[in-house]
């Protein structure tokens, strides 16, 4: 390997061009900083190339397949939908390519320098970059580590192309005939719903008794999964997995006793994640990390080494692009000398299942545990005129407030357009809104927005399209 003799100087170096890295880069450039991003693979990182974007192409296709069943009601005649998987993959690749070019163009327009190579630290002001057969050195004033995470497959599972994780499941070239999904998180649920609609026979195995949503959402989810004939096994631990070139066999334990065995053509496994730091030589810096190796940061994304910041999956906690992007912008602002910080309290959870789920804030159970005097209200999708028109009657929106202060604590929705609806909930919670703040505005009619309005009105027993509760009838006597 040819090693460069002199170290070139850069103001800010960002290692990793995923959503965390490129958001940090563009914000820093906007604030007048000279920025260099070092990326060993593709700009856009996991999210754009293997995660958020490909998974959403699949879930959108699944939603489209589901909606064909409604066409007949509108007098639109089409046959039974058939999925051309090769075309879907080609579409996914086109979307990734287009979005990636968009990120490249934005970086160029903001004069962000992109270096293609693998970076590692020499010391707390110097980075080495492997560029094919060359090794270049760069000094920097500040660096941001944005290298993401990788899935850890338990060593007992063994390797087989039929055993899939988040980073590989959307790279399949065929629709699995029989897919076993092991896990109860957002990723697993999305995999189950998407592949089910695309033609797989799906069984879901939950390691927990239920999903981790509010119990009202869990109940509606249980109903729709049952209606959709997705078989769900609850509270099972994975005991063993064996596989050959055609099948995967899974042994499951419940309370360490009853064993059942499932077999399918493919298995999706929810896995733990580890920080992508092995190639960085962090030991040369003395950056403080958690027991699992995630880099510890404060609310301004500073690590224990003053010249080094870290953002995104590599900092552990919640693994999401939403978080990585926000942290990227905040780190850049801090480096530019602006006051800024990250607060993840009102981080939404979204799942593009069929139907989708979107939640923000506390569940009813969490609010009670935290000692709030809780009042809840829920409005069923079937009571809304636009869900009736569009034949999307499955779903419910639930809102939770503190009865002492009237402050909103949580908004939870399952049903069509849930993810688009949650925006108002996020803003309301972030602005410390009360239910009256959300009852006051004018909501367009007829529209899905009115689902949230009616749920809010329900908190003061004043929803128009909800039957009166017993206590109200008593009062009016």
Choosing among ligand NAD, ligand FAD, none, which partner's interface includes residue 168 (Cβ < 5 to 8 Å by kind)? none
Per CB under 6 A, which of residues 86..125 are in contact with ligand NAD?
Answer: none
Residues 345-374 as x/- pattern, contact with ligand NAD by CB under 6 A: --xxxxxx----------------------
Among 136, 190, 333, 364, binds ligand NAD (CB under 6 A): 190
- Inter-CA distances, 114 with 102, 107, 328, 449, Å: 14, 8, 16, 42
Q: How far apart are CA 185 and CA 207, in angstroms?
A: 10
117 annotated ligand binder: no
CB atoms within 10 A of CB 80: 6
With contacts defined by CB under 6 A, name the span among 64-72, 110-118, 341-349, 365-373 that binds ligand NAD.
Answer: 341-349
Q: How far apart are CA 64 and CA 108, in angstroms?
A: 35
With contacts defined by CB under 6 A, name the span among 66-74, 86-94, 180-188, 239-247 that binds ligand NAD.
Answer: 180-188
Q: How far apart are CA 216 and CA 378, in angstroms?
A: 9
Q: Using an 8 Å Cβ cutoff, are 139 and 13 in contact?
A: no
With contacts defined by CB under 6 A, name the span among 215-223, 254-262, 309-317, 378-386 that binds ligand FAD.
Answer: 309-317
Residue 208 interacts with ligand NAD (CB under 6 A)? no
Q: Using an 8 Å Cβ cutoff, are 8 and 137 in contact?
A: yes
Q: How far apart are CA 324 and CA 21, in angstroms?
A: 8
DSSP tag of 297: -
- Is 445 catalytic? The answer is yes
Helix, strand, or coil (residue 253): strand
Q: Using an 8 Å Cβ cutoff, are 398 and 378 in contact?
A: yes
Per CB under 6 A, which of residues 132..161 are in contact with ligand NAD?
Answer: 151
- With the CA atoms of 188, 194, 197 and 198 taken in that order, what torsion angle do they form, in degrees rounded to the nearest 10? -120
406 annotated ligand binder: no
Q: What is the largest CA-CA distance in the chain?
A: 91
With contacts defined by CB under 6 A, name the span among 60-68, 274-282, 366-374, 411-419 that binds ligand FAD.
Answer: 274-282
Q: How far apart are CA 228 and CA 230, in angstroms?
A: 6
90 annotated ligand binder: no
Residues 300-339 as x/- pattern, contact with ligand NAD by CB under 6 A: ------------------xxx-x-----------------
Catalytic residue list: 445
Which residues would be at the binding site for ligand NAD (CB under 6 A)? 55, 151, 165-166, 183, 185-187, 190, 270-271, 273, 318-320, 322, 347-352
User: Residues annotated as binding site for NAD(+)?
Assistant: 183-190
User: Residues annotated as binding site for FAD?
Assistant: 56, 147-149, 313
């Amino acid at each position: 390997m040819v090693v460069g003799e002199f170290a070139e100087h850069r103001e800010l170096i960002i290692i990793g061009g995923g959503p965390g890295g490129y958001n940090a880069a563009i914000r820093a450039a906007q604030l007048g900083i000279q920025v260099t991003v070092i990326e060993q693979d593709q700009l856009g990182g996991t999210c754009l190339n293997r995660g958020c974007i490909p998974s959403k192409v699949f879930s959108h296709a699944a939603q489209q397949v589901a909606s064909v069943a409604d066409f007949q009601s509108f007098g639109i005649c089409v046959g039974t939908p058939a999925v051309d998987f090769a075309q879907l993959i080609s579409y996914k690749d086109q979307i990734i390519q287009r979005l990636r070019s968009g990120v490249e163009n934005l970086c160029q327009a903001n004069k962000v320098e992109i270096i293609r190579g693998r970076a590692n630290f020499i010391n707390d002001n110097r980075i080495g970059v492997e560029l094919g057969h060359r090794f270049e050195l760069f000094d920097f004033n500040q660096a941001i580590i944005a290298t993401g995470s990788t899935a850890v497959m338990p060593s007992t599972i063994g390797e087989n192309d039929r055993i899939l994780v988040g980073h590989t499941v959307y790279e399949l070239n065929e629709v699995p005939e029989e897919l076993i999904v092991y896990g109860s998180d957002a990723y697993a649920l999305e995999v189950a719903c998407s592949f089910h609609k695309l033609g797989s026979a799906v069984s879901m195995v939950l390691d927990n008794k239920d999903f981790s949503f509010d119990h009202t959402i869990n109940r509606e989810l249980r109903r729709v999964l049952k209606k959709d004939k997705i078989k769900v096994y609850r509270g099972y631990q994975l005991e063993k997995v064996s596989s050959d070139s055609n099948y995967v066999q899974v042994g499951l334990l419940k309370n360490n006793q009853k064993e059942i065995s499932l077999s399918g053509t493919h298995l999706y496994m929810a896995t733990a994640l580890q920080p992508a730091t092995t190639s960085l030589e962090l030991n040369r810096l003395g950056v403080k990390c958690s027991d699992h190796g995630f880099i510890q940061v404060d609310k301004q994304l500073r690590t224990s080494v003053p010249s080094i910041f870290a953002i995104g999956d590599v900092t552990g906690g919640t693994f999401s692009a939403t978080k990585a992007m926000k942290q990227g912008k905040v780190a850049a602002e801090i480096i530019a000398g602006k006051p800024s910080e990250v607060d993840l309290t009102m981080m939404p959870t979204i799942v593009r299942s069929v139907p989708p789920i979107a939640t923000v804030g506390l569940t009813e159970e969490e609010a009670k545990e935290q000692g709030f005097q809780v009042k809840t209200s829920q409005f069923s999708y079937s009571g809304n005129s636009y869900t009736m028109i569009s034949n999307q009657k499955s779903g419910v929106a639930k809102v939770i407030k503190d009865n002492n202060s009237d402050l909103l604590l949580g908004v939870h929705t399952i049903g069509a357009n849930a993810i688009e609806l949650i925006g108002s909930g996020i803003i309301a919670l972030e602005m410390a809104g009360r239910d009256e703040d959300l009852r006051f505005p004018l909501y367009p009619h007829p529209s899905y927005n009115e689902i949230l309005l009616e749920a809010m009105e329900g908190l003061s027993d004043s929803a128009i399209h909800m039957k009166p509760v017993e206590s109200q009838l008593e009062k009016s006597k």
